Amino acid sequence: AQSVAQPEDQVNVAEGNPLTVKCTYSVSGNPYLFWYVQYPNRGLQFLLKYITGDNLVKGSYGFEAEFNKSQTSFHLKKPSALVSDSALYFCAVRDPTDNYGQNFVFGPGTRLSVLP
Amino acid sequence: DTAVSQTPKYLVTQMGNDKSIKCEQNLGHDTMYWYKQDSKKFLKIMFSYNNKELIINETVPNRFSPKSPDKAHLNLHINSLELGDSAVYFCASSQVEGPNQPQHFGDGTRLSIL
Supply the CATH classification number for the domain A3-115: 2.60.40.10
Q: For residue A79, what pLDDT band results from cuts at 50, 70 and 90?
A: very high
Does the beta-carbon distance from B104 to A46 stay under 8 Å? Answer: yes
Which residues of chain B does A112 touch, with a Cβ-Cβ cutoff of 8 Å?
none
The Cβ of residue A105 has, within 10 Å, a number of other Cβ atoms equal to 21
Find all residues with CB under 8 Å of B10, minimum gap 6, and list them. Answer: B109, B110, B112
- The answer to whether A65 and A59 have CB atoms below 8 angstroms apart is yes
- Averaged pLDDT of chain A: 92
Which residues of chain A does B90 touch, with a Cβ-Cβ cutoff of 8 Å?
43-44
- Residue A88 touches chain B, beta carbons under 8 Å: yes
Find all residues with CB under 8 Å of A89, minimum gap 6, and list them. Answer: A6, A21, A35, A36, A37, A38, A47, A76, A109, A110, A111, A112
- The whole-angstrom separation of Cα A5 and Cα B25 is 30
Which residues of chain B does A34 touch, with a Cβ-Cβ cutoff of 8 Å?
102
CA A38 to chain B, closest CA, distance in angstroms equals 10
CA A60 to chain B, closest CA, distance in angstroms equals 13
pLDDT score for A3: 87
Share of chain A above pLDDT 90, in %: 76
A65-76 pLDDT, tens per residue? 999 999 999 999
The Cβ of residue B6 has, within 10 Å, a number of other Cβ atoms equal to 24
Series of mean pLDDT values for 10-residue runs along chain B (114 residues): 89 97 94 91 88 78 92 95 96 77 92 95
Q: Which of B48, B102, B106 lies nearest to residue A100, judging by beta carbons? A: B48
Pairing type for strands B75-78 and B104-105 reads: unpaired
Dihedral sign, CA of B66, B69, B70, B74?
Answer: negative
Distances (CA, A) of A105 to A95, B10, B35, B106: 9, 26, 11, 18
pLDDT score for A78: 98
CA A4 to chain B, closest CA, distance in angstroms equals 12
Which residues of chain A does B104 touch, with a Cβ-Cβ cutoff of 8 Å?
46
Dihedral sign, CA of B88, B89, B92, B96?
Answer: positive
Determine the residue type at B67: K
pLDDT score for B50: 83
User: Above 80 in pLDDT, residue A102?
Assistant: no
Does the beta-carbon distance from A96 to B40 stay under 8 Å? Answer: no
Which sequence spans correspond to the domains of chain A?
A: 3-115
Domains delineated in chain B: 4-113 (2.60.40.10)
pLDDT score for A1: 73
